[in-house]
Amino acid sequence: MKLIIASPSPYARKARVALLEKKIDFEEIIDIPWNKNTLTKDINPLGKIPVLLHNNHKPLFDSKLIVQYLDYYKPQPLMYPEKPEENISVRLIETVADGVCDAIVLIFLENTRKEMFRSKDWIKRQEIKIFEGVKYLSDHLKDRNYFVGSSFNISDICVYSCLEYIDLRFYKFEWRSQFPNLEKYWMFHKDRQSFKKTKPIAQTIEPLED
């Protein structure tokens, strides 16, 4: 399998961690999807990473769909639990964690504009989503080590990736001091090999045109 990624991307990280957890061999192809010469535009009509290329299968895109495909391809360990109630709970946590990342991406892009073109209102709107989203995650975690059920699954991948994406792109938000249960959770998972091997690395992107 080949996975097209961007090195800072929390969405690509979901697929990378799931592949490592399932011990599936894969090759990473690093792209910068925001730049004009991105590989992705010819493969995904939405121009986004991650994209999974597997044998003669059509290219698969969107992290949720890719991880679901990996669960069909190699069920153990399962990333999306089978029990309907757990499955829905996991997807809800995924939606919030991914939504926090979406808001961070939008602020990051807005800040690539010249200062006179940036919208403070737009940035504020996204910041509220980040703060409220992380509070929701903290409230749902309580003092547990796993978000849903008693073992590791996609909800943990999403939240862990989201927290480290905040550290990379929105570090003014000191989530550790505001949400000690999330810090404890982060400490519990930080030595996991699949997380250590996929630490986000910043890329420099071409600025948006005004």
Binding site for ligand GSH (CB under 6 A): 6, 9, 11, 33-34, 47-50, 62-64, 98, 105
In the bound complex, what is the minimum distance in angstroms from residue 103's beta carbon to ligand GSH? Answer: 12
Closest to ligand GSH by CB, 47 or 75: 47
In the bound complex, what is the minimum distance in angstroms from residue 169's beta carbon to ligand GSH? Answer: 10
**What 3-state class would DSSP assign to 100?**
helix
Three-state DSSP string of 125-145: HHHHHHHHHHHHHHHHHCCCC
Closest to ligand GSH by CB, 24 or 43: 43
Q: How far apart are CA 65 and CA 52, in angstroms?
A: 10
In the bound complex, what is the minimum distance in angstroms from residue 36's beta carbon to ligand GSH? Answer: 11
Q: How far apart are CA 136 and CA 93, in angstroms?
A: 9
> Which alpha helices (DSSP H) does 55-115 contain, by range?
63-73, 84-110
Question: Is residue 160 within 8 Å of residue 21, measured between CB atoms?
Answer: no
In the bound complex, what is the minimum distance in angstroms from residue 138's beta carbon to ligand GSH? Answer: 22
Q: Is 36 left (phi over 0), alpha (psi -120 to 50) or beta?
A: alpha
Closest to ligand GSH by CB, 105 or 137: 105
In the bound complex, what is the minimum distance in angstroms from residue 15's beta carbon to ligand GSH? Answer: 8
In the bound complex, what is the minimum distance in angstroms from residue 95's beta carbon to ligand GSH? Answer: 10
Closest to ligand GSH by CB, 6 or 100: 6
- Least Cα distance to 34 among 9, 3, 59, 54 occurs for 9
Closest to ligand GSH by CB, 65 or 88: 65
Closest to ligand GSH by CB, 40 or 179: 40
Q: How far apart are CA 164 and CA 170, in angstroms?
A: 10
